[in-house]
Amino acid sequence: MTEPILRMTGICKSFPGVLALKDVDFDLVTGEVHALLGENGAGKSTLIKVLGGIHPADAGSIVIAGEPLRIRSVHEAQRAGISIIHQELFMVPELTVAQNMFLGREPMSSRLPLVLDSRKTLGSAQALLDSIDMDLDAGARVGDLSIAQQQMVEIAKAISFDSRILVMDEPTSSLTTKETDALYVLIERLRDTMAIVYISHRMEELFRISNRVTVLRDGQTIGTRETAHTTSDELIEMMVGRKLQDLFTKTPTEPGEVVLEARNLCRGHKLQDVSFSVRKGEILGVAGIVGAGRTELMRCLCGIDGIDSGEILVRGKAAAIRQPKDAIRLGIAMVPENRKEEGLVLCGSVGFNITLEALGDFIHGCRFDAKAEANIIEDYTRQLSIRTSSPEVLVEKLSGGNQQKVVIAKWLASRPSVLILDEPTRGVDVGAKAEIYAIIDALAQQGVAIIMVSSDLPEVINMSDRVMVMFHGRKMAELSRQQLTQKMIMKYATGDSQ
Amino acid sequence: MSSVLTPTLPQPNIAQRALAVPIRLIKPKLGILMGLFLMCAALSYLSPAFLTTSNLINVLRQVSTNANLAFGMTLAILIGGIDLSVGPVLAISGTLAAGLIALSGLPVWLAVLIGLGCGTLIGFCNGFIISRTGIAPFIVTLATMQIARGMAYVYTGGNPVSCYVDSFNAIGSGYVGRVPLPVIYTAVVFLVMCFLLYRTRFGRYVYALGGNRNAAVYSGININRVQVLVYSIIGFLSAASGIVLCSRMYSGQPTIGNGFELDAIAAVVLGGTSFSGGTGTLGGTLLGVFVIGILNNGLNLLNINSFWQLVIKGVVILLAVYVDILKKRGKGAR
């Protein structure tokens, strides 16, 4: 093999309270696509941020093309020929495509001091876009583009640096099949002159485009494999650190009567004619790519957003859900996708958060029953094995998994009959994942109807009794447990219904 | 051969292109322009004194201070910040300049320079503290607002400082033809600020910082420097306005500029700048300044009690911003 363009050895990085990277090794050769694989929170993004100069490493060495380098800022990384396309797109919506592409290194007028050369900016940007066959107007406002188009702009921007190393962090997470194919074609072309780091947790994608795969788990390098000489089972086991079957708990249950039914729900173009039902004790998985309308659907069920037409029935009776309060009264609770923004009062204590939905149980008029409150907190902390030294600890100090359990506890305290879980294990470590699956399974056995929105296919397949697949605001398919395969779900999730 | 015929074809094209830029600039401001026009029409009808050259020049002079402050405030709000200290900074800089001339006998040019330096320094401190400590701009400038006002009182002992020096008084009271100097200054400020915001890297970074802070950081932009520069510019503009005002009043008044920050913010918001940063234009702010200025002028001409004027101004601001939000919501739904 040729001399690597990048060699990272013994990289360590800690943030207050967490050791995010521990002795991570990684190397990269020009001409290869090297996949970086790992669960959420495994340290992939942190490693990339170290490389990109956003979080300088605490220890370890980075050698680029044989030259040891200290990367302490974004500028230094760019100078070293490293370009990163982050998972969240970092674009200024009010500026144009060209202005975004040259942000931070605007071409200046050759005649006047201080003055930007807008024509040159626009011209170079357009030339770049054309050179990689992107059908985009460099003068368009980025805020008016679709996510896929914005991503293309990020790629064009990365290329414009004359980079030697290109990092793509989950580039396909919000793309349709067609857009993904276009991206693969582009990657094939870029591969000739660059080394590409490709972060993803979609197996089939890695096997399609990568040469090598490095797996990270809990901030450590688990190993590197030639893609041609490995299997997806091996990679998954490296990723989760145990046999797959041990991760999930799913007790077969006999679903009871229908608890919640939606008929022909519509909301703008986000939701079009969606109907489904969920039974007592059943786990309904909801799959789809980002932007398929899954979260929008859940928000309507909980009264956060209104519906334009259609009806929602709870236990067979038409329910008027206009605000979250109505939904909660009917026994519908949701653990939202983004726990830090929508689920928790971060600067509140564990106890404060757990009892937020159950205040009526211990506050009656002016009477505050401190003992009842303590009981509720104690109950759920034990039931969900939330690891905290005391209920007084601030929620922001807990790990992702424990935070998620607090959100679940909060809603359980309202004694729901329908529990909606939106991406229940996002950003949660493997151990906590298994615990959360056990909690979900136990709740289903107790007769709670569960709707689980998830982009994690193994999770959907192993936990659900039934799966509804959505695409562009529509329900594409409903698959029974026997029909569930990753391939089947992805087929419908990318709008391919034939 | 066809040269006789062809020139007739591109003609509308050229006209279209010539109009394209103004249309693009005016279109989003159609609402406020209409409001301004209606207001002027109504005032011309109600008061014969409104549509006279002397009154219009008067309006221009009256709005010039608020315009300077509002241009600076636009920058602060564009980066997602705010500057509450503009009024007191204006007061301390103006009284300092007047006092240095009248009390310490300094030459006018030096006193003015020190006055400008003082305002710029306070602005610099605002920016420095905001960018290095992470204290919210509202809080930081709330504090410097008190500090600057206090310094103005300390310096003068709470009394006005009279300053009858012709060359100093000429700064604010002079004319070019029939146009008062303050109006000229403001025009220059407007042009320079437009240049800074639309033609330089700094301006681009202002929009980037307000539009998406992370994008700015990840693009290697030194956001601390951008913030310091923004608040320094505001400090400079406040100081300049203070010196002009004091010069016109022949005295340094430690109490001037009370509530100026609110008028400036109102103008910026009326002009369509988003309070969350990233969107807004200086042209919009200029229109906002005119709305407030003409409203003040008109209500005076109509002899409306000044207490009621405040009430009316508040209601107008609320309505105008609400209409703006409705418009945006309409756009979003489509």
pLDDT in tens, A305-363: 989 999 999 999 999 999 999 999 999 999 998 888 888 988 889 999 999 988 888 88
Q: How confident is the model at residue A426 (pLDDT cuts 50, 70, 90)?
A: confident
Residue (of A107, A336, A349) closest to B199 by Cα position: A107
Residue (of A95, A151, A94, A160) closest to A126 by Cα position: A160
Other C-beta atoms within 10 Å of A79: how many? 14
Chain B nearest C-alpha distance from A83 (Å)? 10
Q: Output helix, strand, coil percentages for chain A, rounded to the nearest 5.
A: 35, 25, 40
Q: Residue A462 in contact with residue A250, Cβ under 8 Å?
A: yes
All residues of chain A having their beta carbon less than 8 Å from the beta carbon of residue B208 are: 92, 95, 103
Structural domains of chain A in order of their starting residue, each with its CATH number? 6-242 (3.40.50.300), 247-493 (3.40.50.300)
Q: Give residue-wise pLDDT tens across range A103-118.
A: 888 888 888 888 888 8
Q: Can you give the pLDDT at residue A404?
A: 92
Q: Can you give the pLDDT at residue B8?
A: 39
Q: Is the pTM of this model over 0.80?
A: no
Q: Is A91 within 8 Å of B333 when comparing Cβ atoms? A: no
Chain B nearest C-alpha distance from A75 (Å)? 6
Q: Can you give the pLDDT at residue A159?
A: 81
User: Closest-CA residue in chain A for B219?
Assistant: A104
Q: Please name the residue that has the structure tokens 């302490």.
A: A72
The full set of domain ranges for chain B reads: 77-290
Residue A82 has pLDDT above 60, yes or no: yes
Q: Rounded mean pLDDT of A440-445?
A: 94
Q: Can you give the pLDDT at residue B74?
A: 97
All residues of chain B having their beta carbon less than 8 Å from the beta carbon of residue A116 are: 199-201, 204
Q: Residue A294 in contact with residue A288, Cβ under 8 Å?
A: yes
Q: Can you give the pLDDT at residue B4?
A: 38
In this complex, the residue of B200, B207, B219 whose CB is nearest that of residue A94 is B207
Interface of B with A (CB under 8 A): 199-201, 204, 207-208, 211-212, 214-221, 278-279, 333
- Write down the mean pLDDT value for chain A: 88
DSSP state of A170: S
> Going along chain B, which residue ranges are E strands?
161-162, 175-176, 179-180, 251-252
Q: Output helix, strand, coil percentages for chain B, rounded to the nearest 5.
A: 80, 5, 20
Q: Can you give the pLDDT at residue A407?
A: 93
Segments of chain B with pLDDT less than 70: 1-25, 329-334
In this complex, the residue of A73, A93, A105 whose CB is nearest that of residue B212 is A93
Q: How confident is the model at residue A497 (pLDDT cuts 50, 70, 90)?
A: low
Q: Give the strand pairing for A6-15 and A18-28.
A: antiparallel
Residue (of A138, A126, A141, A139) closest to A94 by Cα position: A141
d(CA A64, CA A75): 15
Q: Residue A368 in contact with residue A362, Cβ under 8 Å?
A: yes
Residue A431 has pLDDT above 80, yes or no: no
B13: left (phi over 0), alpha (psi -120 to 50) or beta: alpha
Q: Give residue-wise pLDDT tens across range A377-407.
A: 999 999 888 888 888 888 888 878 889 999 9
All residues of chain B having their beta carbon less than 8 Å from the beta carbon of residue A90 are: 212, 214-215, 218-219
Q: Rounded mean pLDDT of A220-237?
A: 88
Q: Can you give the pLDDT at residue B10?
A: 42
DSSP state of A340: I
Q: Give residue-wise pLDDT tens across range B267-316.
A: 999 998 988 888 899 999 999 999 999 999 999 999 999 899 889 989 98
Chain A nearest C-alpha distance from B199 (Å)? 5
CB pairs under 8 A between A and B: 65
d(CA B184, CA B215): 38
Q: In what order do the strands lie in the sheet with A309-314?
A: A271-279, A258-267, A309-314, A317-319
Interface test with B, best of A54, A72, A92 (most B CBs within 10 A): A92
Higher pLDDT, A10 or B317: A10
In this complex, the residue of A90, A116, A268 whose CB is nearest that of residue B199 is A116
d(CA A403, CA A353): 10
Q: Side-chain half-sphere of A355: how many Cα atoms within 13 Å?
A: 24
Q: Give residue-wise pLDDT tens across range A165-175.
A: 999 988 877 77
d(CA A185, CA A329): 51
Q: Rounded mean pLDDT of A267-277?
A: 92
Q: Which amino acid would we find at residue A251?
A: T
Q: Residue A154 in contact with residue A89, Cβ under 8 Å?
A: yes
Q: Can you give the pLDDT at residue B9?
A: 40
